[in-house]
Amino acid sequence: MKSVLLFLFLGISFFGQAQQLSGIWRGNFRNGPSAPQGGHMDLLSVDDRYKFEVQLDQNDKKFTGVTYSYLTTVFYGKATCEGTINPATHQVLLSEMKIVEVRMAGGAPCIMTLFLKYSKENGEEFLEGTYFSTSTRDSTSCGRGTVFLRKVTTSDFYEEPFLAKKEKEKPKPAEQKPAVKKVDTIANKPAIVKTTPKNNPHTTTKPVVTKSTNKATVNTKPTNKAIVKTPTETKPNVKIVEVDTAAKVVVKTPPPTNITVPKVLASRENTLVKTITTNSNQVEINIYDNGTIDNDTISVYVDKKLVLSKKRLTDKAIPLTITLDDTVNYHELVMVAENLGEIPPNTSLMVVKAGTKRYEVRITSTEQKNAVVVFKYEK
């Protein structure tokens, strides 16, 4: 019985992950070198990769959507698609159904059937696997190969209406008002607000308590004598303020203010890609092209200082070492696309070695957006 319950729990847990297929996935596909070619696959050499974007709308174990295949100005195609996911095995079957847009010079477009597997690593989601393709003209084989996709937040084209609608239908989180209590900022404890009668010694009828002796003396008769309080009862003026006890105050050491922000950082949107926390004060970085070698060039800024200028991305590493300073809270590395190469956008793979840990960060940057990686040093 316990094993059955465990199986059901695991199935439900992954089913929650499977729901995350709704959204935008982008990457590439490569035609296998030994596979027969035909249709628009003839445009590819064995080392070329198509850019590939998929937008999906999942309902239970099924989904529908669209795919975009593109290779600079040589080829562009958009197709409808549908498929299923197996929660137990994480396997995804995606089939292109109909070409709805195409631009190509000669030949016939091909449609693909993809066999993918869902995975999640370091907060990022991936679909990887294989495909085969057939010609829309005579159903002959166009070839087969491999596919790699990563879930992203923006499209190289535009967000499909079904995704925009799904975003609007998401329930907004209920607003919760934080607890507020009054604080005596002088005594550093909850303030006590006392209501006292008007100071008229001729009409005092309430019991008067004096604390100058060990025993309290109660006088229930009117008195003409003024009430004198001992010094221990004298309080300074109390200022009542409201403090948001739910808010967490975080004090960060600001970066030096005498550094001028470069124009390319100020004029473009800077998007956070990953935050890496490490206890090593030295970080080794190697940067590669993450796709076809198509003359992408990049510049890299660390804490707004230029450290790499207009470097061409290839399959050989561009090395960079950063020394982290524990006197500031974090260090920002910003990757700037100097151009988009022959196959936009500008894509790169950053391999980071921090102490005993190794990270792979896939980065996409454009002429409108820079990619930011934050390093936090904690001893």
Task: Give me the CATH number covering residue 373.
Answer: 2.60.40
Same domain, 160 and 270: no
Position 227 in a domain: no
Position 309 in a domain: yes
Same domain, 273 and 129: no
Position 173 in a domain: no
Position 255 in a domain: no
Residue ranges of the chain with per-residue pLDDT less than 50: 1-18, 34-47, 185-187, 191, 193, 195-198, 201-205, 207-257
Domain of residue 110: give its range.
2-164
Position 190 in a domain: no
| Per-residue confidence (pLDDT) for residue 327, from 0 to 100 | 77
Same domain, 269 and 153: no
| Residue where one domain finishes, among candidates 140, 164, 188 | 164
Same domain, 160 and 309: no
Residue 256: both structure tokens together: 């030096």
| Residue where one domain finishes, among candidates 130, 164, 198 | 164
Among 126, 183, 116, 178, residue whose Cα is nearest residue 150: 126
The angle at the Cα of 137, spanning 136 to 140, to the nearest 5 degrees, equals 80
Same domain, 11 and 118: yes
Among 374, 352, 372, residue whose Cα is nearest residue 361: 352
Same domain, 158 and 271: no
The tens digit of pLDDT for each residue in 273-307 reads 889 988 888 899 999 987 677 788 999 999 889 99
Task: Give me the CATH number covering residue 49.
Answer: 2.40.128.120
Same domain, 129 and 19: yes
Position 249 in a domain: no
| Residue where one domain finishes, among candidates 145, 164, 183 | 164
Same domain, 153 and 9: yes
Position 185 in a domain: no
Position 323 in a domain: yes
Tally of domains within the chain? 2
